Amino acid sequence: MKSRREKVAGGVANFIDERTGAAKWVKKNLQKVFPDHWSFMLGEIALYSFIILLLSGTFLTFWFVPSQEEIVYEGSYQALEGVKMSEAYASTLDITFDVRGGLLMRQVHHWAALLFLAAMVAHLLRVFFTGAFRKPRELNWILGVALLTLGIVEGFLGYSLPDDLLSGTGVRIAQAIIQAIPVLGTYLAFFAFGGEFPGTVFIPRIYTVHVLLIPGIILALITVHLMLVWYQKHTQYPGAGRTEKNVVGYPLLPVYMAKAGGFFFIVFGVTVLLGAFAQINPIWIFGPYTPTQISAGSQPDWYMGWLDGLVRMSPPLETHAFGYTISWNILLPGLILPGIIFTGMALYPFIEAWATGDKREHHLLDRPRNAPTRTALGAMSLTFMVVALINGGNDLIATHFNLSINQIMWATRISIIILPPLAYIITKRVCLSLQRYDRELVLHGRETGRLVMLPHGEYIEVHEPISPEKAYMLTQHEQPLPLQAPEADENGVAPRGGLKNKVRSRLSKAILGEQIAKPTPEDVKALEGGHH
């Protein structure tokens, strides 16, 4: 017999269902299938890290004072007692030493930020190298690039809030980048800082942006991102039974929800362990920010290190025109190059689709080796970023390894020109070699290392046939559509290509690259039972 509570709940459910038809919608969506592959967890790590950021950040807002008003510190940290500092820095010290669990929450918040950015980068790389950005998911790719950009800005604003000597150095660099903008730079810097640097309004302003504006935008973009994934269905890797029109995996309930819930607590636990045992951003060692000082070995967080490295390696180039000084050594690495990089990232799906003429929908992912040029472009970009990141820590590298900082500077300047093209060439050749290996594996089987002498004296190596599932995965891939040649006129003369066609043709060759002919599924069937 049903209890009163069950009757009330059932009555409410029936009332809602009769007026909205929610039961049918809920039943359908709870049975939605999600593919099962470890690489899809990268996006989940980013989502769970963002949730941890919201929770820990809310805790910190109860005690943080976003003010640059100068006070004399009289807290429990005796090494700084009697020192003049801002209220923001003093409140951060209070959170660290006087609030129960404050240091743990500060470090959990910082580690979660690093994990959030790292997971987003790893997720973006997975999407890029497998071609998951292709039609119909171009909009989701753009949302991902926007989320990464906002995450970097949010992280920078976050570690600038304590107003310690390290964060103040980073803010000073940001002010220099703003001032490098021709004509408008000085006005924008005065607006951001409320006058001369450092002013008294910068931290209150970025506090509002950090805790309200950008998190709200990120939350909205994540919601749209997940809604699009839900509507467009998830991509999946090629395999037995997997086609462009289905999804092979587990339903949302109970399997996927149970796994996702457990994985959230794993991410949360790892983040708390890092916050408890791995010290990060010890602001009490750096001291309060003073414009006339700079901390030794100043290093930004890793997601800003590449930008700092580009600024450090830029040669001192300036141009004087119309009464203005254009500082290319700041403007080029600080604004122009990042703008080109992120704009190119956002537009890449459209560039590839336009160059290849491929307008089809794609729900099966590419193996990176089967898109050698795209994979090589990704490796080239990563190499560029890594070299810039290394130069961002050139002073610490110099002191730790007893090297000359000038030698490191020139080594990275030369490497950032030479190594990316070299990475492109090597990666592409490796991809083509792996394609040849796949072809031989499907046609002749796996090498066993056993030699057999035939009756007429010939020695051959015995090959072991691969499984049908493996053969299916290696043969079920999609070739990019080649560009169609221009149609001939009634006299049989093909029209001459204009500049647009020439550019598109060259881009097509660059994007498509070389492709090793793979065995088709029909070839595999013909080889079944054959001689290996």
* Domain boundaries of the chain, sorted by first residue: 1-31, 32-244+252-365, 369-481+497-532
Is 60 exceeded by the pLDDT of residue 489?
A: no
Check: CB of residue 413 under 8 Å from CB of residue 432: no
* Candidates 1.20.1250.20, 1.20.810.10, 3.40.50.1980, 2.70.150.10; CATH matching 32-244+252-365: 1.20.810.10
**Strand, helix or coil for residue 483:** coil
* Residue 332 identity: L
Q: pTM for the full model? A: 0.85
pLDDT at 518: 59
d(CA 21, CA 49): 35
Summarised one tens digit per residue, pLDDT across range 352-368 is: 999 888 888 999 899 99
With cut-offs at 50, 70 and 90, classify the pLDDT of residue 476: low
Averaged pLDDT, 450-478: 77
Is 90 exceeded by the pLDDT of residue 431?
A: yes
Q: Which residue has the higher pLDDT, 526 or 490?
A: 526
* Residue 160 identity: S
pLDDT at 21: 66
Averaged pLDDT, 8-26: 67
Summarised one tens digit per residue, pLDDT across range 53-62 is: 999 999 999 9
Q: Which residue has the higher pLDDT, 88 or 185?
A: 88
Residue whose tokens read 């989502």: 47
Summarised one tens digit per residue, pLDDT across range 138-192 is: 999 999 999 999 999 999 999 999 999 989 888 998 898 898 888 888 899 998 8
Please tell me the total number of residues recorded for the chain in this structure: 532
Q: Which residue has the higher pLDDT, 347 or 25?
A: 347
Is 80 exceeded by the pLDDT of residue 519?
A: no
Q: How far is CA 154 from CA 78, 147, 214, 221, in A?
A: 32, 10, 7, 14
Helix (H), strand (E), coil (C) string for 268-283: HHHHHHHHHHCCCCCH
